[in-house]
């Protein structure tokens, strides 16, 4: 099959492109480079520069490259920004998806993998979040991902499009330093940022009802996440009736304090964290029940949290050489 990978110049998309091509699949990247980096696309893989809102270019691209499946990662992804600019988020994440699906249906494509997020669950008050846990997103970003899942599923039913919505938990790490996330929006880069400046990393609240009082999350290495896309793509190709919604996490909770301690150890910057008040909207614990994906797709995460931090630090110092020696 030939897969169109939207957002393939982004952090996760670039890993998906590599995992798909390593598994013998053909890939074409479609990306407007609004946050992506062209150099992340491997040599020999076509990069079509354009927006998922551009229906004409999408139609031409699907035809020109004989695309038979789509992995859709292109989106805006900053939770805080989505609160300030909901119209932009709905436009790209929902309207962009609608335009893409329109082109996909028109081209008679049969397989669609959608990047969803644990943000669809909002503040789940459960030990392990299953795919049946009610979805009550807390931000416009989470809402757009949930609306996206509905749109993908409804289109799948109406037009015979095999589909999988993958709900990523907390993504970290890099398969190679140059592929690392360059943004500072998640805990790992946020702690790197503070430590590189010689400042104390911050822990937002240590009075949560968790063992050490700090929030607990489920971290997944981006290389494992990319492999899950290959497994999902293969499943859709093999079984045209597939309609799947799966958590992608390790099913293991790691507290913010444990993560900060590990990061200071790996980076060798032993600066004690500063505890500041809770941030609004942070749930105490969000950990995936990971059995559905292992059962359905025969996929299991291979990397632990130390692999994530070590590889993310290699990426951080690659992109910011001054941090390595500071």
Does residue 174 belong to the site contacting ligand NAD (CB under 6 A)?
A: no
Judged by CB under 6 A, which of 28, 41, 51, 135 binds ligand NAD? Answer: 51
Binding string, residues 177-206; x marks residues near ligand NAD by CB under 6 A: ---------x--------------------
Does residue 75 belong to the site contacting ligand NAD (CB under 6 A)?
A: yes
Does residue 11 belong to the site contacting ligand NAD (CB under 6 A)?
A: yes
CB 197 within 8 A of CB 251: no
Residues 6+ apart with CB under 8 A from 44: none
Enumerate the H helices of the chain as residue ranges.
11-22, 55-64, 79-84, 86-90, 96-106, 140-159, 187-196, 222-238, 256-267, 291-297, 305-319, 321-325
Contacts with ligand NAD in 79-98 (CB under 6 A)?
92, 96
Write down the residue that tokens 């299953």 correspond to.
Answer: 130
CB 116 within 8 A of CB 164: no
Classify 7 as helix, strand or coil: coil
Does residue 49 belong to the site contacting ligand NAD (CB under 6 A)?
A: no
Closest CB to ligand NAD among residues 27, 269: 27
CB 71 within 8 A of CB 97: no
Least Cα distance to 68 among 163, 3, 161 occurs for 3
Least Cα distance to 129 among 89, 167, 73 occurs for 167
Judged by CB under 6 A, which of 20, 41, 74, 266 binds ligand NAD? Answer: 74
Span interacting with ligand NAD, options 4-12, 101-109, 123-131, 299-307, rule CB under 6 A: 4-12
Size of the site for ligand NAD (CB under 6 A): 27
Residue 136 has phi, psi (to 5 degrees) of -135, 75
Shortest Cβ 111–ligand NAD spacing (Å): 18
Judged by CB under 6 A, which of 61, 115, 163, 255 binds ligand NAD? Answer: 115
Catalytic residue among 121, 141, 208, 219: 141
Judged by CB under 6 A, which of 3, 4, 10, 303 binds ligand NAD? Answer: 10
> Sign of torsion, CA 24 29 35 37?
positive
Closest CB to ligand NAD among residues 58, 162: 58
Closest CB to ligand NAD among residues 11, 313: 11
Judged by CB under 6 A, which of 1, 33, 79, 83 binds ligand NAD? Answer: 33
CA distance 79 to 140: 7
Does residue 5 belong to the site contacting ligand NAD (CB under 6 A)?
A: no
* DSSP assignment string, 20-84: HHHTT-EEEEEE--SS--GGGSPTTS-EEE--TT-HHHHHHHHHHTT--EEEE------HHHHHH
Catalytic status, residue 30: no
Span interacting with ligand NAD, options 48-56, 104-112, 282-290, 291-299, rule CB under 6 A: 48-56
| Residues at the contact surface with ligand NAD, assessed by CB under 6 A | 6-7, 9-13, 31-36, 51-53, 73-75, 77, 92, 96, 115, 117, 168, 171, 186
**Residues catalogued as catalytic:** 141
């Amino acid at each position: 099959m030939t897969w169109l990978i939207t957002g393939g110049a982004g952090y996760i998309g670039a890993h998906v492109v590599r995992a798909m091509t390593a598994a013998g699949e053909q890939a074409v990247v479609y990306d407007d480079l609004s946050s992506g980096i062209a150099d992340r696309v491997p040599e020999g893989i076509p990069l079509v520069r354009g927006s998922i809102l551009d229906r004409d270019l999408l139609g031409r691209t699907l035809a020109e490259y004989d695309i038979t499946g789509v992995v859709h990662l292109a989106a805006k992804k900053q939770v805080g920004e989505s609160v300030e600019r909901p119209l932009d988020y709905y436009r790209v994440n929902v309207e962009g998806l609608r335009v893409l699906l329109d082109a996909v249906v028109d081209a008679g494509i049969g397989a669609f993998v959608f990047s969803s997020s644990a943000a669809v669950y909002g503040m789940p008050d459960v030990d392990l979040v299953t795919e049946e846990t009610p979805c009550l997103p807390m931000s416009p970003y989470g809402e757009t991902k949930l609306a996206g899942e509905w749109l993908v599923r409804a289109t799948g039913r109406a037009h015979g499009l095999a589909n999988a919505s993958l709900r990523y938990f907390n993504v970290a790490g890099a398969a190679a330093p140059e592929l690392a996330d360059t943004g500072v929006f998640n805990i790992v880069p946020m702690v790197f940022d503070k430590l590189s400046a010689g400042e104390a990393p911050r822990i937002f609240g240590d009075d949560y009802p968790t063992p050490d009082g700090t929030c607990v999350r489920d971290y997944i290495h981006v290389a494992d996440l990319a492999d899950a896309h290959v497994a999902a793509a293969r499943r859709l190709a093999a079984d045209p009736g597939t309609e799947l919604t799966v958590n992608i996490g390790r099913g293991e909770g790691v507290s913010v304090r444990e993560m900060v301690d590990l990061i200071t150890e790996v980076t060798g910057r032993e600066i004690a964290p500063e505890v500041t008040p809770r941030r609004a909207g942070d749930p105490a614990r969000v950990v995936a029940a990971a059995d559905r994906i292992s059962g359905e797709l025969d996929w299991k995460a291979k990397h632990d949290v130390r692999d994530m931090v070590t590889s993310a630090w290699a990426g951080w110092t690659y992109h910011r050489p001054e941090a390595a020696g500071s």
